[in-house]
Every structure is written in structure tokens, then in C-alpha cells.
Amino acid sequence: MKTVYGLSEDVLARIRRHAEGTEGLATKVMKCHYCEHKAITVYEDSRGHVRAKCKKCGMEGIYNVVLRRGGAVSYRRCLS
């Protein structure tokens, strides 16, 4: 059984299945609340809240994915 980075074929097949499940879905990029760097990419079928750490500034942020799906609501407007 061939492995990549110590992963078995079963795990690789599962990763491929998940990647294929996102094909054709629209995506939106959510930016870091602190430095405006790209923090996460959200697919159109996502919902709920996500905690992510920015790779640029190292700060953690909580993102409401449902607010972002419409595309018109920004984080700063949610604070007001």
C-alpha cells in the first residue's frame, strides 16, 4: 500500500472525496478582523461559526459564516 506523508490509501481516498464534494461550489474569502489578510475561504454550503487564526498577524477571530453568504454584511457593520 503506497503512502504519502505517512497517510494510508483509505485516508487519501477520503480526502479526495471531500475535495470532489466542493467542486462547483461558490467560494468567498473572509478577511482577518485585525489586519485584513485572507483568513479563511468559505463555501456556499457552509453555515455556523468558525474560529480561525490568521497566518499573517497570528490573531484569532470568530467568523459568522451565515452572515458572509449574502456577501453584503461585513464584520465592521455587525459591530455597530
Q: What is the pLDDT of residues 35-78, one digit of tens each?
A: 999 999 998 888 889 999 999 999 999 999 886 555 444 444 44
pLDDT at 77: 45
Residue 61 lies in a domain: yes
Asked if residues 26 and 44 have their Cβ atoms less than 8 Å apart, the reply is yes
Task: Indicate the pTM of the whole model.
Answer: 0.62
Residue 61 carries which DSSP code?
A: E
| CB atoms near residue 67 (< 10 Å) | 16
pLDDT digits (tens, 9 = 90+) for 1-38: 455 578 888 999 999 999 999 899 999 899 999 999 99
Question: Is 70 domain-assigned?
Answer: yes
71 falls within a domain = yes
CA neighbours within 13 Å on the CB side: how many for 16?
Answer: 7
Total structural domains within the chain = 1
1 assigned to some structural domain = no
